[in-house]
Amino acid sequence: MLSVTNLTKRFGGFTAVDRISFALEQGEILGLIGPNGSGKSTTFNLIAGTLAPSEGSISFLGQDIGGRPPMAACHLGIGRTFQIPRPFKRLSILENIAVAAYYGQNGQISRTRAWEQAEEALNLVNLPSDPKSPVDGLGAAGLKKLELARALATQPKLLLADESLGGLDEHEMEQAADMLSLIRREKNITIIWVEHIMGVLMRVVDRVMVLDHGEKIAEGLPREVARDPRVIEVYLGSEEIKIADAQGDAGGDAGGDARA
């Protein structure tokens, strides 16, 4: 579905993403992890068209999309959430999602259909607030759900979920993990999930890719990656070792406080 080759992003003399290559199969959930500033959000911004690559290529469903604008990526079926949610503050929860549904499909759907799709997306994320209420009453977890609903309302084939902002407690994190599993199962959406808390992520994803200083330092099954000496070194000092237990031990400690 997605093929990234030698993707590089430089800001002046600083290289934020350094020749990373990876591929993604339809239906997969890929976890993208790495310490603060390792290039995770920049990678999303490159795939979603918010930033143009300095070098390298991005192919999505056979089309070369590197450097194309965000609107083009969205209309081709790439939905993304932003690490820092910025909803339209004067619109209600449902209106925010309906805007995403309508413009995300290039205005090719009726307004009625946009409302329906907004409601479907809202149901998927299970936001308990009144859909007609303003967004300013939402806390961190609610804003994350709204962000996810807006991305889903664009009817993506690939969802880039940038969840790495703190503010969620462990229970909310686990809910977010279950939600992404559900989205894949029910809607057949392929997902790349950025998260800091490795234990929760490791239980849901099929594969993990680890970035450090913009470089890919590991990729593979969660179990393998958790044992990789370079990964352990990068996460040294935290409780990362628990991630090995979290995987394959569904009832066990999720290592929820293993932070980058």
Ligand X SMILES: Nc1ncnc2c1ncn2[C@@H]1O[C@H](COP(=O)(O)OP(=O)(O)OP(=O)(O)O)[C@@H](O)[C@H]1O
Antiparallel, parallel or unpaired: β 207-212 and 29-33? parallel
Q: Which does 11 bind (CB under 5 to 8 A by kind): ligand X, Mg ion, none?
A: ligand X
User: CB 82 → ligand X: shortest distance, Å?
Assistant: 11
**92 interacts with Mg ion by CB under 5 A:** no
Stretch touching ligand X by CB under 6 A, among 20-28, 35-43, 70-78, 86-94: 35-43
Chain centre distance of CA 223:
21
37 or 70: whose CB is closer to ligand X?
37
Antiparallel, parallel or unpaired: β 29-33 and 190-194? parallel
Binds Mg ion (CB under 5 A): choice among 15, 83, 105, 175: 83
Binds ligand X (CB under 6 A): choice among 28, 37, 54, 115: 37
11 or 88: whose CB is closer to ligand X?
11
16 or 180: whose CB is closer to ligand X?
16
Stretch touching ligand X by CB under 6 A, among 29-37, 56-64, 141-149, 180-188: 29-37
Binds ligand X (CB under 6 A): choice among 11, 23, 133, 233: 11
Stretch touching ligand X by CB under 6 A, among 30-38, 92-100, 102-110, 235-243: 30-38
Phi, psi torsion values for 42, nearest 5 degrees: -65, -40
| Residues in 127-166 at the binding interface with ligand X, rule: CB under 6 A | 164
Site string for ligand X, 46-85 (x = CB under 6 A): -------------------------------------x--
Stretch touching ligand X by CB under 6 A, among 34-42, 59-67, 132-140, 202-210: 34-42
Residues of the shown chain interacting with ligand X in the complex, contacts defined by CB under 6 A? 11, 16, 34, 36-42, 83, 164
Residues of the shown chain interacting with Mg ion in the complex, contacts defined by CB under 5 A? 40-41, 83
